[in-house]
Amino acid sequence: MKSILHKLLRYRLVRNTGWLFSYQISTYIAHLAIIPFLTRVLPVSEYGAVMAVMAATQLAFTLTDYGFSVSATYEVSLNRDQAVKIQQIIADVHGAKILLVAGALLALFALACLPAYRPYPSLFIFAGLTVVAQAYQPVWLFQGLEHMKAYAFYMVAVRLAFMVSVFVLVRQAGDGVWVLASLALANGLGMGIGLYTMHSLGYHPMGMSLHGGLKVLRDTAGYFWGRLAFAAYTSANAIVIGAAGLMQAGLYTAVEQIYKAGQSVGGPVSQALYPSLANSRDVRVLWKIVPTMTGVMVAGCGVIAWFAPEVVQLAFGASYASAVPVLYVFLATVPVSTLGMVLGYPLFAALGRPHIANHTLVAAGLVHITLLGSVWTMGALSAYNVAFCVLCTESLMLILRIILGYITYRRTQLATQSPPP
């Protein structure tokens, strides 16, 4: 057994996936501890406001990330042995983020002016600090260099700092602001650790180029639209529901945590595969992983669905009993979503066409916005209906990726087999 484990750990992909799973385990622990605590201490409407503003910070992060988690990761993975080139990528990305952070803060201010969110100005102050700290966490660099150990260590530190701060500071109704303060503190710690680690790897974290930043913004705009489309059917849902009613936002965001926990089983696999397959172009790795992962996800979600009422009551309390139907929809979505992740950027990077995964994200985002608009127009905006929109969107994206992946794979095979002229 030890010899088998030793052989497995010799593979960089296995080690990286292991480190990412360790990060996800810390995320599970934080969520399993914090969410039930908050749903019992805070009123449903205050909990809904807190989670909606946290979703807004995630949406703002989509703007400041600008798809660099995909495009910059890809560039770094292709140039990992060229330190000068990587330093230029760092300077360009950091230069671009000056402009992106300014835009994200303006967007947060506009959201804070909406009637539903006006009673919570302090939430948005700490949300703004979180956005700045998130923007300069160099996750994309560690992913591109496949230094997942460093990434896992500092992300675990962020999660633990957030969890401890929440338990210490949140004691009663009205303390929701301390959740956002804890988030800002934890992400500030993550930024500091990340930039220090970047420096220890031999790169200058404070180097930035506005000229290069403007150029990279133009060149990678396609990835931004892809990430923005992704945010349209993830982070934006809680914000939209919150604007219509914080009670429904509370129900939605509570059971959404179980959905996110399920998603994050496939997340480490996808994150580790992306830079590895971009470099190796070995599609066969996917065919070994996909069947096993799909079977595990379907079985796990089936077990949770069987005990759904008990799970909701145990995790969130009796006040959230009406969220059980929403959980059923999310559990149906988990296998679809995780399979879509693995057959997205990792597959198309292996085929040398990562932009195709981007196009499927944009298409799915447009469909989701259309579905949300229809539900809003009909006056049927609720946690259940929005969750069902997510299921439809994820299903469409998976179908698109399977079809386009097959077509691209066949064309690649034919091009490889064709004799030279």
Question: For residue range 341-394, what is the model confidence (pLDDT) as tens digits?
Answer: 888 878 887 788 877 888 888 888 889 989 988 988 888 888 899 999 999 999
In-domain check, residue 3? no
Q: Count H helices and E strands in the chain, helices first.
A: 19, 0
Whether the predicted pLDDT of 227 surpasses 80: no
Q: Which of 158-162, 341-345, 396-400 has the highest mean pLDDT?
A: 396-400
In-domain check, residue 2? no
The whole-angstrom separation of Cα 344 and Cα 346 is: 6
Whether the predicted pLDDT of 138 surpasses 90: no
Q: How many domains does the chain have?
A: 1
In-domain check, residue 4? no
Q: Categorize the per-residue pLDDT at 8 as very low, low, confident or very high, splitting at 50, 70 and 90.
A: very low
DSSP label of 203: -
Q: Hey, what are 417's tokens?
A: 């087999």
In-domain check, residue 286? yes
Q: Is the pTM of this model over 0.95?
A: no
In-domain check, residue 241? yes
DSSP label of 234: T
CA distances from 91 to 39, 192, 363 (A): 42, 17, 31
CB 105 within 8 A of CB 131: yes
CA distances from 48 to 10, 254, 255, 385 (A): 45, 9, 12, 17
Q: Give residue 151's domain range.
A: 10-417
- Average pLDDT of the segment spanning 279-308: 84
- Average pLDDT of the segment spanning 293-301: 87
In-domain check, residue 1? no
pLDDT, residue 15, reads 57
